[in-house]
Amino acid sequence: MNHQTDFLIIGSGIAGLSLALKLAPLGSVAVITKKKAPEGATSLAQGGIACVWGPDDSFDLHIADTLRAGDGLCHSETVELVVRSAPERIKELMAWGVEFSRDPQDPQKLDLGLEGGHSRRRILHVEDHTGREIERVLLERTRERPSITLYENFLAVDLITLGKIGRASSGDRVIGAYVMDWFSGEIGVWQAKVVILATGGAGKVYLYTSNPDTATGDGIALAVRAGAKAANLEFVQFHPTCLYHPKAKNFLISEALRGEGAVLLDPDGRPFMHRYDPERRELAPRDVVARAMDAELKRTGAEHLYLDISHKDPDFVKSRFPYIYQTCLRYGVDITQEPIPVVPAAHYMCGGVWTDLFGQTTIPGLFAVGECAFTGLHGANRLASNSLLEALVFAHQAYLKIRENWSECKNWPWVSAPPWDPGGAVDMEEKVLISHNWDALRRLMWNYVGLVRSLDRLHLAQKRLHFIAQEIEDHYWRYILTPEFVELRNLCQVARLIVASALRRKESRGTHYLKDFPFKRKEFEADTLVGREVLLDVHP
């Protein structure tokens, strides 16, 4: 099961698909995705895309809001690039067929939502299921292009570089990946002139997350194992409001509800945000709101808090948030009549694989776009609805650089890579070896490396993760790989990178709150870079 393609894109969300559409005229494009194409985080994005659009808004205001949320760590040149590129990328989406919601008072205008941290209404949305509609349209356009082939249920196991196969005498570069058929387990060599990681985030490293099951940090782990650098992985954004219900899995309650006036309540039905951020209250940045909720949960001992929008007109709520209304109603909660039970949950990786302004990693031929990448846009905390925008802009940036270098890249000779060698591995008869470590790892990260951290807990997490990693590595070489085991290994490696990064940042900033150092420190106004040296103390 070997393949050759000009461009190999790993991931089928907004970043991967929009880049595939741009690369299609240059050559053959293979997009692999480990489940069905729409099952990534893009489809779950409810709020929308931030973009300067209204007459009262400006690039300078959007830039200032982004920098403020990023708490001193945003790369100013990245912020400028993304914010100023937004209108053009939005028009491109609309040309592909995305129809954003219109202002009910003036259908000639787009409806602009307000979210936490924004000083103006600038969130373009499709009702409350923006990501789902964008994914649908991009998949339609992708399937129309004969030079793009979409492979569902294929999982990247490892990147192949010239160095890995002993052919880097004239310099290293990526030449493809080992890819597993999810159902047969067969692992083939997929060769490409350019490889792009668009794998999304790593929310499943935590017990409670808004992320889909696919968010196992694959791109970050693949890149770091291959020798790339990652940056700022200590900054994990926790979304304040996920639906709390025993049968609801990973259902996010959009920040847009708070933008439209929803109020957070304690277990006794009393507002509390005025005690934590008197000026911004519910519209404070996510890290502020999430930590306030964490403090209230600890203070009261409650299992959840409430988000109340029942004071708004029921017809408005149903028309503005139809997906959230219908979903909550399915779980027995009528949001027009009663408050919604909510808890914070791991939501977004502000760090990722280090890239330049064109999505290039530290490995030649390897690009990273979307949530798996670190571009410097988000700093220590992502501003709401900047994520889909970043994915669009950096997919375009990557396209520009690939197109610029394509006349050289396409003439690179194909270098044959050895087939996947399972050695003497045998079938794993007891899947409990996977499920136990999967659960232990995620609970450990939630309890020790969550919203509020301490040096003691981080050191304990580091030690325990080392033992889990050692067991996983032993199993990796003894047993024939399964998709679940590949994901577990990736999750564990990303968890170790997060902890190592958190231990290096001895301050509190953005989403990283360290009890031992509760204030910002000037000497830490820099990115935290980590690489495979963090993982090298574990051997088969």
**In 221-372, beta strands by DSSP E:** 230-231, 236-243, 263-265, 305-308, 340-349, 352-354, 366-368
In whole angstroms, what is the distance from residue 215 CA to residue 442 CA?
13
Residue 215 corresponds to which tokens in the numbers above? Answer: 């968010």
pLDDT for the residue 540: 66
Q: Are residues 113 and 165 in the same domain?
A: yes
Are both 89 and 227 inside the same structural domain? yes
Residue 88, domain extent: 3-234+350-409
Q: Assess if residue 117 is contained within a domain.
A: yes
Count the neighbouring beta carbons within 10 Å of the beta carbon of residue 288. 22
Last residue of a domain, one of 340, 363, 398: 340
Output DSSP code: residue 213.
Answer: T
pTM of the model: 0.92
Beta-bridge partner residues of 161: 174
| CATH number of the domain that residue 310 is part of | 3.90.700.10
CATH number (domain holding residue 518): 1.20.58.100
Of 377, 394, 409, which residue constitutes the final position of a domain?
409
One domain for residues 230 and 246? no
- Residues 27 and 98 occupy one common structural domain: yes
Task: Looking at the structure, tell me whether residues 175 and 322 fall in a common domain.
Answer: no
Residue 378 in any domain: the answer is: yes
How many domains does the structure of the chain reveal? 3
Sequential DSSP letters for 5-47 = EEEEEE--SHHHHHHHHHHTTTS-EEEEESS-GGGSSGGG--S
Residues with Cβ within 8 Å of 110's Cβ and at least 6 positions away in sequence, in order, are 53, 100, 101, 102, 103, 124
- Determine, yes or no, domain membership for 345: no
Asked if residue 225 and residue 279 are part of one domain, the reply reads no
Which of 132, 286, 291, 453 does the annotation list as catalytic?
A: 286
> What pLDDT, on a 0 to 100 scale, did the predictor assign at position 256?
85
Q: Are residues 332 and 366 in the same domain?
A: no
User: Are residue 127 and residue 7 in the same domain, yes or no?
Assistant: yes
Q: Could you tell me if residue 421 is inside a domain?
A: no
Domain presence at residue 416? no
| pLDDT at site 205 | 96
* Domain assignment present for 417: no
Do 195 and 248 have their domain in common?
Answer: no
Q: Is 496 tagged catalytic?
A: no
Residue 111: give its domain's CATH number.
Answer: 3.50.50.60
Q: Which of 192, 181, 139 is nearest to 8 (CA)?
A: 192
φ and ψ at residue 165, rounded to 5 degrees? -105, 15
Please tell me whether residues 126 and 145 are part of one structural domain: yes
Long-range own/partner contacts, residues 175-181 (CB < 8 A, 24 or more apart): 175/365, 175/415, 175/417, 176/8, 176/417, 177/8, 177/10, 177/222, 178/420, 179/3, 179/32, 179/154, 179/155, 180/154, 180/155, 180/156, 180/481, 180/483, 180/486, 181/1, 181/153, 181/154
d(CA 7, CA 30): 6
Q: Rounded distance, CA 347 to CA 345, Å?
A: 6
Give the pLDDT confidence score for residue 241 in this predicted structure.
92
Q: Are residues 359 and 454 in the same domain?
A: no
Question: Is residue 302 assigned to a domain?
Answer: yes
Domain match, 323 and 223 both: no
Name residues whose C-beta falls within 8 Å of residue 220's C-beta, 6 or more positions apart in sequence.
Answer: 199, 202, 230, 233, 349, 352, 353, 372, 490, 494, 497
Q: What is the mean pLDDT of each run of 10 residues along the chain (540 residues)?
A: 92 97 98 91 86 96 96 97 98 96 90 89 92 95 97 97 83 93 95 97 92 94 97 95 85 88 96 95 87 90 94 94 94 96 93 98 97 97 94 98 94 90 79 86 93 95 96 88 95 98 97 96 96 86
**Residue 39 placed within a domain:** yes
Decide which of 340, 367, 386 is a domain's last residue.
340
- In DSSP notation, 411-457 reads TSPP-PPPPP--TT-B----THHHHHHHHHHHHHHHHHSSSSB-HHH
